[in-house]
Amino acid sequence: MDSPLPLARLSAFFSRASHAPESPVPASLNRLQTLVSEYLRPEDIEKLQAAYHFSAEAHEGQFRISGEPYVSHPVAVAEILAGWHLDAQALTAALLHDVMEDTNISKQEIADRFGKTTAELVDGLSKLDKIEFQSKEDAQAENFRKMLLAMAQDVRVILIKLADRLHNMRTLDAVRPDKRRRIAAETMDIYAPIANRLGLNSVFRDLQELSFQHAMPMRYRVLERALKAARGNRREVVSKILDAIKHRLPECNVQAEVEGREKGLYSIYRKMREKHLSFSQVLDIYGFRVIVQDIPSCYLAMGALHGLYKPVPGKFKDYIAIPKANGYQSLHTTLIGPYGTPVEIQIRTTKMHQVSQSGVASHWLYKDNDGTLNDLQVKTHKWLQSLLELQSTSPDSAEFLEHVKVDLFPDEVYVFSPQGKIFALPRGATPVDFAYAVHTDVGNCCVACRINMELMPLRTELRNGDQVEIVTASHPNPNPAWLSYVKTGKARAQIRHHLKTAQQEQAATLGERMLGQALRAHGLNVAAVGQAVWERFLKEFGPKLNRKEVLTDIGLGKRLSGIVARRLAELQMVEGEHNDVIQKPKPAGSLLIRGSEGVAVQLARCCRPIPGDPIVGLVKKGQGLVVHTHDCPLLVKSRGERDKWVDVDWEFEPGRSYEVAIRAVASNQPGVLAKLAAAIAEGSANIAHVSMDDERGAYTSLYFTLQVIDRIHLARVMRNMRHVPEVVRINRSKGENPERNQPGAQLY
């Protein structure tokens, strides 16, 4: 590498900056030129000079809300990045990051002047202001989606964006209060977790503190005053602990640097809020960091300090053996110091300390030339690639952002596969999350799990050190109920994607059957409708529409089969002059359903129809065909929508059982539930759920959800239940609150 430009030649760097004497730009330029002279080549510095002139000219006449020339902002962002020793392309993109958004400069012009890579970086940072969105939330979600996907291609995008947000947060005082709070909330919600996920610990802490300061200014000022007061009161204790540590480590032949550190105001506030403590009860405001030369010295230092002060049981964490997902490594332990004061200690090597502060910025993927990847790079690469995978299964921007935000929470648990491979999952994760972390196909085919060699429910929360084994089926069949307890964005996105795909296929099949039923009234069937007729029909409703989408819309209730059939029949009549396919109209007939068609056909939970019941189908938008009993009270509300009613009938399916709700009123005596359960078992029925009223009078109501084959089977079971002497009344529940028969009701 060529030697950097001498300082004499750098004196002319950015010489065309012409601002008022009080402008902050010259000072920022001086700091920037000092930083880049330490590691960039002369030709790179000349490119930066050209980029600055280009940016200054593009932003000429533009000012920040504070009154400073606008170019001061990109210079400050470049200065932050230079402190991380980012390359010339990243610094150039930082100087130009707002020119596409705020001026008439195009991406192609930037590519012509500064190269395609720099143009791609700037484009990834530019907002989508020229596209109209339905709401501000949609625009924000799309901006994040674009930025995160650009980051997946080149991590420098997010590094520049984080430096941009950091400088904006440092100069947020000039913004009006309502906008200040909105930006602070957005930073806390998205940018700070991303910084943490990439291992940029110092940026993460700064963004947290600044967000807290602007989002809750009163609380921030109160805590700031309290901390200043406590700082003086506890100075003697902190000094005593620091001296004791510095003397103890050399005695054990451990060479180390020891520094005290103060908890951030936001960390103190969060601990007070989560544990319901007052400020005076938060004793561990101060901590200490021990930096040693190598990994064995970390454990020697820990042993020495445990001999100095007693450790708190359960408060030791070894992030060296099992690093965090963002590459962070350190030993954490809490000791009981003088006067019973808890003392937090972090022990790490010099290299670990560098990574904890700079994270992926210290050695990002594209900088390596030897093709090798260290652990941090591999983990970062996997996370960035997971963003692309999430995008493929979540094309909707808001949904994509929701899945990404789920994965940004820092608390993690570490579990093992049967082969001993470690998986880092968010706290509260379940075996379903683990299955999708192993592979998408494993998650989709998951049916059961073993945790530490024992069969456990899939909704069990995993704990640190658990060994998890997934039992799979031969065919994928994700359960919609999983969405209520999975924690990872990947699991949630893959489940939704599979269910949505299955729903589309099932809805298309159902839509074809419903259209065929409606066409019979016009003397047609689906096969008789010619290609020319379909083409004319599709042209009327949109050039991008296709036949399968029309059938899917019918199955999902977004289009009425009768209207589609009528229009197809009219078009067929036109074509009928040359095509003798139209027959005498016939009764539409009933649509046969089995109840096992999938999500496109649903048996209503309010009345729980079973074979043998007279039934009516109701087409509901977005849900497909919902089947009710003909006397269901909820159908009364749909009398004005008769065009959405479908004549349906049962089609026998061997081995299929159906859930039905039963209410039994019995005298409140010991053993009555056991007698009823025996009567149900004698009738060869299964009990899915059971609950009872909270009242404890002479009589009580018991609510059963039974699994039966048909109406005749149900009648036999109810007859057995009536033979129980304590039963005074039994009937089938229809139109009542279906939640009575669901998990969560009082179970016995």
Q: What gap in Å lies between CA 297 and CA 300, rounded to an integer?
A: 5
Structure tokens of 429?
């994760």
* Alpha-carbon span 120 to 112, nearest angstrom: 12
Tokens at residue 289, please?
């960091």
Give CB contacts under 8 A, 24+ apart, made by 379-384: 379/325, 379/326, 379/327, 380/155, 380/198, 380/199, 380/326, 380/327, 383/197, 383/325, 383/407, 384/151, 384/152, 384/155
What residue type is assigned to position 534 of the chain?
W
Which tokens hold the place of 164? 């941009």
Contacts (Cβ under 8 Å, ≥6 apart) of 686: 657, 706, 707
- Report the alpha-carbon distance of residue 294 to residue 296 in Å, rounded: 6
Alpha carbon distance 268, 277 (integer Å): 10
Q: Is 745 helix (H, G, I), strand (E, B) or coil?
A: strand
CA distance 718 to 662: 9
Options 102, 109, 123, 389, the catalytic residue: 102
Dig out the tokens for 468 from the structure.
Answer: 């998890």
Residue 473 CB coordination number (10 Å): 11
Q: Is-catalytic flag, 209? A: no
- Report strand pairing: 615-620 vs 601-603: unpaired
DSSP string covering 341-355? -EEEEEEEEHHHHHH
d(CA 345, CA 523): 83
Quick check: 104 and 57 in contact, CB under 8 A? no
CB atoms within 10 A of CB 65: 12
Distance CA 249, CA 369 (A): 40
Residue 612: how many other CB atoms lie within 10 Å: 16
Q: Please state the length of the chain.
A: 748
Report residue 181 as tokens: 């709070």
Alpha-carbon distances, residue 229 vs 223, 233, 235, 266 (angstroms)? 10, 7, 10, 17
Q: Distance (Å, rounded) from C-alpha 426 to C-alpha 443?
A: 17
Task: Determine the Cα–Cα distance for residues 89 and 651; give it in Å rounded to an integer.
Answer: 67
Closest alpha carbon to 353 in 426, 250, 258: 258
Map residue 83 onto helix, strand or coil. helix
SS3 689: strand
Q: Give the Cα separation of 186 and 484 in Å (integer).
A: 26
DSSP letter assigned to residue 590: P
**Among 87, 101, 318, 693, the one annotated catalytic:** 101
Per the listing, tokens 């007279």 go with: 614
Distance CA 537, CA 379 (A): 52
| Rounded distance between C-alpha atoms, residue 330 and residue 351, angstroms | 11
Interhelix angle 217-233/201-215, rounded to 10 degrees, is 120
Helix (H), strand (E) at residue 181: helix 177-186
645-650 and 591-593 beta bridge pairing: parallel
Q: Kindly report the CA angle at 209 between 204 and 215, in degrees rounded to 5?
A: 120
Angstrom distance (rounded) from CA 336 to CA 252: 20
CB 582 within 8 A of CB 576: yes
The DSSP symbol for 63 reads B
Q: Any catalytic annotation for residue 102?
A: yes
Q: Catalytic site residues?
A: 101-102
